Structures are given as C-alpha cells and as structure tokens.
C-alpha cells in the first residue's frame, strides 16, 4: 500500500493513464515476452540450472541495453556446495537506465 500510495502522489493520473494505455496497446507483445522469460528455468537454488540463471541475467542485461541503459555484469565468484565442490555464481547486474533528476 505504501509504495502504491507514494507512487500515486508522484505520478499524475494523466501519466498513469498513459502507462495503462501502453500496456493495453502492447498486451500481446508483453505476454509473449513474459512467456519467454518464465520459460528460462532461472531458480538459482537448483545447481543444475545455474547456466539458465546466467542466461536470464544476460537476457535482462540485453533488455536494459535495448532500452538505452548501460550495463555492467559483475563476477561475484563461486558457491561452495555441501559436498565441497564449487559452481560459479551468476553475474550481478549493475545498470543505469535514464537520467532522471
């Protein structure tokens, strides 16, 4: 509630109308994009899917870049598993989108 209330104070109803109109006009494309995202098995707790987690990181980084943002993918090392083996952790995204003040 707080976030919604706080957001509504900063955004005029005219701006919100534009957002909702955009969503309505692009609903099919947004649904297709969401379907692509959820098809990537990116649950990081499943070690066998760790490559898929990195695939999602790369996908999100690309989305930010397409929108005109800048992206840095940072290597945060490896995870040591209970059996003593290690697997790479997925990169962390540091990004900047827009220059609002």
CA distance 28 to 91: 30
* List of long-range contacts for 57-62, beta carbons under 8 Å, 24+ apart: 57/90, 57/91, 57/92, 57/93, 60/93, 61/93, 61/95
Q: What is the mean pLDDT of residues 20-24?
A: 92
pLDDT at 55 (0 to 100): 92
pTM over 0.75: no
pLDDT surpassing 80 at residue 11: no
Identify the weakest region by mean pLDDT among 40-44, 47-51, 57-61. 40-44
pLDDT at 1 (0 to 100): 40
Q: In sequence order, which residues have a C-beta less than 8 Å from that of residue 98 and are 6 or more positions away?
A: 68, 69
| Residue among 56, 34, 28 at smallest CA distance from 44 | 56
Residue 74's H or E segment, with its range, is strand 70-74
């Amino acid at each position: 509630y707080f976030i919604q209330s706080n957001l509504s104070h900063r955004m005029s109803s005219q701006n919100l109308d534009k957002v909702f109109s955009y969503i309505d006009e692009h609903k099919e494309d947004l649904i297709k994009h969401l379907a692509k995202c959820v098809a990537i098995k990116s649950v990081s707790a499943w070690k066998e899917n760790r490559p898929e987690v990195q695939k999602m990181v790369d996908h999100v980084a690309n989305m930010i870049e397409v929108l005109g943002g800048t992206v840095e993918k940072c290597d945060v090392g490896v995870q040591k598993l209970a059996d003593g083996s290690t697997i790479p952790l997925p990169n962390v995204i540091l990004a900047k989108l827009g220059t609002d003040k």
